[in-house]
């Protein structure tokens, strides 16, 4: 199958390069960030390292939406939540989307699949979550975090519980690419399991401006995580959402994943440090919203959401 990656940022490059190199499939990249597209063209590809080692140049095909004439079988979308609406509008206006195409996304937070569903039928939408860490250190410059083979992700149908024939092919390609796909029957429980993880790790690392390996040095992290997970699980249970991991599994994974990706600045920090808005409203803010809708106040998530917004505003004094 042929893939088109929309959003040649950290994760877009990660999926596209691993598919191209390990699964041997055709991949085209679409991006709107000019310094990024121009840098790829100037240096002849994207510069890729793993855990700061073995930096090399990987030749890729990259296009602005308006230039693109190709017709991939599956789009892979990795934009930030705040960018998605405008991106989809621009891509649709450029004539990129066709009735026979499927679309996959493993963005963090919640709200993206509803936006994607304005352009694709529900049965063609493939949902994902990625416990895969990638740094975008500059235009056309990425660092894949974690040793080879540590990549883990989940995949589910937006509509229905069984993988469609296209999803089965996507899973096979992702397996060959070493992205570590696991099928989940319920997309909502799958996505919320990742949202609650990000609501701890991304948010706290961002507020203290640290890498995951530095964050996990503090012995109080499991207790802080437990408090945030308990609130999030209580809100989800009231909303009838059944997460695919238990509370204890989530608490334990904060420790194991933070050690595994010790050099990683979570994607929220990558925005924060570049003076961009963060995805906190789609992560902690989304958990708090589910709580309020179900007569349950997630006090810590509401507070933490405000703290991140305060920190965003205070950047102007630093």
Ligand X SMILES: CC(C)(CO)C(=O)C(=O)O
**Would you tell me which residues interact with ligand X (CB under 6 A)?**
108, 131, 133, 198, 201-202, 261, 264, 266-267
How far apart are alpha carbons 187 and 198 in whole angstroms? Answer: 17
Interface residue with ligand NDP among 19, 127, 130, 232 (CB under 6 A) is 130
How far apart are alpha carbons 25 and 172 in whole angstroms? Answer: 11
Q: Which does 7 bind (CB under 5 to 8 A by kind): ligand NDP, ligand X, none?
A: ligand NDP
Least CB distance to ligand NDP at residue 88 (A): 12
166 or 201: CB nearest ligand X: 201
Q: Which does 201 bind (CB under 5 to 8 A by kind): ligand X, ligand NDP, none?
A: ligand X
Order of strands across the sheet that contains 152-157: 61-63, 27-30, 3-6, 74-77, 102-105, 125-131, 152-157, 181-183
* Residue 4 and residue 75 in contact, taking contact as beta carbons nearer than 8 Å: yes
32 or 108: CB nearest ligand X: 108
Stretch touching ligand NDP by CB under 6 A, among 28-36, 45-53, 182-190, 232-240:
28-36
112 or 264: CB nearest ligand X: 264
* Residue 177 and residue 150 in contact, taking contact as beta carbons nearer than 8 Å: no
36 or 258: CB nearest ligand X: 258
**Binding status of residue 179 toward ligand NDP by CB under 6 A:** no
Order of strands across the sheet that contains 46-50: 53-58, 46-50, 141-144, 134-138
Q: Which does 8 bind (CB under 5 to 8 A by kind): ligand X, ligand NDP, none?
A: ligand NDP
10 or 46: CB nearest ligand NDP: 10
Cβ-proximal residue to ligand NDP, closest one? 9
Write each residue from 95 to 124 as x if it is in contact with ligand NDP (CB under 6 A), else as -, in one continuous string. Answer: ------------xxx---------------
The 3-state DSSP class for residue 137 equals: strand
**Binding status of residue 10 toward ligand NDP by CB under 6 A:** yes
Q: Which does 289 bind (CB under 5 to 8 A by kind): ligand X, ligand NDP, none?
A: none
**Binding status of residue 267 toward ligand NDP by CB under 6 A:** yes
**Binding status of residue 193 toward ligand NDP by CB under 6 A:** no
* Residue 102 and residue 129 in contact, taking contact as beta carbons nearer than 8 Å: no
The 3-state DSSP class for residue 64 equals: coil
How far apart are alpha carbons 270 and 280 in whole angstroms? Answer: 13
* Beta pairing partners, 134: 144
* Beta pairing partners, 58: 46
Q: Which two tokens stand for residue 168?
A: 């089965």
**Binding status of residue 80 toward ligand NDP by CB under 6 A:** yes
Write each residue from 194 to 233 as x if it is in contact with ligand NDP (CB under 6 A), else as -, in one continuous string. Answer: ----------------------------------------
209 or 237: CB nearest ligand NDP: 209
Burial of 129 from C-beta contacts in 10 A (0-12 / 13-18 / 19+): buried
With a CB cutoff of 8 Å and minimum separation 6, the contacts of 213 are 258, 259, 261, 262, 263, 264
The residues of the shown chain that bind ligand NDP, judged by CB under 6 A, are 7-12, 31-33, 78-81, 83, 107-109, 130, 132-134, 136, 267, 270, 274, 279
């Amino acid at each position: 199958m042929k893939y088109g990656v929309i959003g040649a940022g950290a994760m877009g490059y990660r999926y596209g390069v691993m598919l191209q190199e390990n699964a041997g499939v055709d991949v085209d990249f679409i991006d709107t960030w000019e310094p990024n597209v121009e840098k790829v063209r100037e240096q002849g590809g994207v510069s890729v390292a793993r855990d700061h080692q073995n930096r090399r140049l990987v030749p890729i095909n990259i296009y602005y939406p308006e230039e693109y004439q190709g017709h991939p079988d599956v789009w892979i979308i990795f934009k930030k939540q705040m960018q998605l609406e405008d991106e989809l509008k621009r891509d649709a206006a450029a004539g990129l989307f066709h009735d026979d195409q499927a679309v996959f996304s493993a963005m963090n937070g919640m709200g993206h699949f509803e936006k994607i569903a304005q352009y694709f039928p529900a049965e063609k939408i493939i949902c994902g979550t990625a416990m895969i860490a990638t740094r975008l250190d500059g235009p056309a410059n990425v660092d894949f975090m974690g040793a080879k083979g540590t990549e883990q992700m989940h995949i589910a149908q937006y509509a229905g519980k069984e993988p469609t024939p296209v999803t089965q092919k996507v899973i096979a390609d992702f397996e060959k690419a070493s992205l570590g796909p696991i099928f989940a029957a319920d997309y909502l429980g799958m996505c919320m399991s990742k949202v609650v993880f990000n609501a701890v790790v991304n948010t706290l690392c961002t507020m203290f401006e640290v890498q995951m390996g530095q964050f996990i040095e503090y012995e109080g992290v499991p207790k802080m995580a437990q408090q945030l997970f308990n609130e999030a699980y209580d809100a989800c249970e009231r909303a009838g959402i059944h997460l695919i991991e238990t509370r204890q599994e989530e608490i334990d994974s904060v420790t194991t994943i933070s050690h595994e990706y010790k050099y990683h600045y979570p994607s929220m920090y990558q925005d924060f440090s570049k003076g961009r808005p963060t995805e906190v409203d789609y992560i902690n803010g989304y958990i708090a919203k589910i709580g309020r809708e179900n007569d349950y106040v997630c006090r810590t998530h509401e507070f933490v959401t405000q703290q991140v917004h305060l920190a965003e505003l205070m950047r102007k004094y630093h």
